Amino acid sequence: MSPFLSLTIQNFIDSCLESYYAKHKEAVLVIGTVYRNERRVYGIGDLSPYPTSEYSRLIYEIGSITKLFTVSLLAQLHYDGFLTIDESLGQYVPLLPPDSPVTFKHLATHTSGLPSRSLLRETRNLFDTRNSRDPYSAFSLSEAAFYLRKISAKEAGIKYQYSNAGMGLLGHVLATELQTTYELAVQDGITIPLQMQDTAIHLSSEARERLVPGYTGRRRAAELVLQDFPGTGAFRSSISDLLTFLSVHMGLHPDKEMTSIYSITQQLHFQKNDTFGVGLGWFHQLKDNLIWHNGGTHGYMSFMGFLPEQEIGVVVLSNKRTSSFAMNPTHIGMELLRRVK
């Protein structure tokens, strides 16, 4: 990294850390960068409650960055010939007709027709005490499948609608086909080969001691529990592990076969307009050639993004959920990459 680029990044991150901590004293903010084969981790916040002196080993809920693990698993099964991304879900989901126009790619690009929110569904849910539903989703697994039964060939793949249920259904189907749980499928296919020991849904007792508690405002937030849709946001991880995961997607990891497998996820599979498009899971900021995703749970916020041409990426993790866009992890990550560009 050139001295000028290094100084630009250092000055911006120092300013972000200080400004963020000045407003959120209970927070522990961690920022990680990867540039070619060089990694750096920056952090601010009290480390005394944890059995580590390194910000890189703290563990956070990563929310919807979990979706990138789901689409990575899809990419592996596609590469292995276990399935193809353009196959009909009807061949895998008994509740759908065998010739359903909805495909794996539609779920992975949020173009299946299944919405993230449905006013009608949420109203019905108020009076339905029999079905349990995950936070951030108006649908259960069976309800999501029944909704997709109504999608016609003219509707599938036409409109972008961000859908937690859609991505969660994708994770469920992949794990079912592998005859295992979603967590074990991701661990067997991704985290164990990449030696990402801190990435899991159910943490070991040692790892839980490094889990930073989440906050909403100044109140401790409940930990996120997802039953039907773990593939949409259930994973916990450290910034060290996530920098490893990001480096594979950027093509910077020594495992070149895995980087080749994952390359399909960053291809532009759906373009909403001149500025925004979607890969498999990944978002494309087209004018900046910036590829990214973010996440949020009850008490955490996260960001992961990179500039493929400049070979630089960033991960930002916070244990504080805020409603303000200013100085949250997405704002910090986006602004850092734009300054680098």
């759906």: which residue's tokens?
A: 270
Backbone φ and ψ for 199, nearest 5 degrees, come out as -105, 115
Q: In the structure encoding, which two tokens stand for residue 260, read together?
A: 């080749």
According to DSSP, the residues that pair with 69 across neighbouring strands are none
Model pLDDT for residues 58-89, shown as the tens digit of each residue: 999 999 999 999 999 999 999 999 999 999 99
pLDDT of residue 129: 63
Q: How do residues 85-133 score in pLDDT, each as one tens digit?
A: 999 999 999 999 999 999 999 999 999 999 876 655 555 655 666 666 7
Least confident of 3-7, 140-144, 241-245, 288-292: 3-7
Instruction: Kindly state the average pLDDT of the residues 14-30.
Output: 93
| Eight-class DSSP state of 157 | T
Find out whether 338 and 290 touch, Cβ atoms under 8 Å. yes
pLDDT at position 164 over 90? yes
Q: Which of 205, 183, 197, 220 is closest to 66 using CA atoms?
A: 183
Q: Write down the pLDDT at residue 251.
A: 95
Its pTM stands at 0.95
**Would you place residue 9 in the very low, low, confident or very high pLDDT band (cuts 50, 70, 90)?**
confident
Q: Read off the pLDDT of residues 179-204 as tens digits, 9 standing for 90 and up.
A: 999 999 999 999 999 999 999 999 99
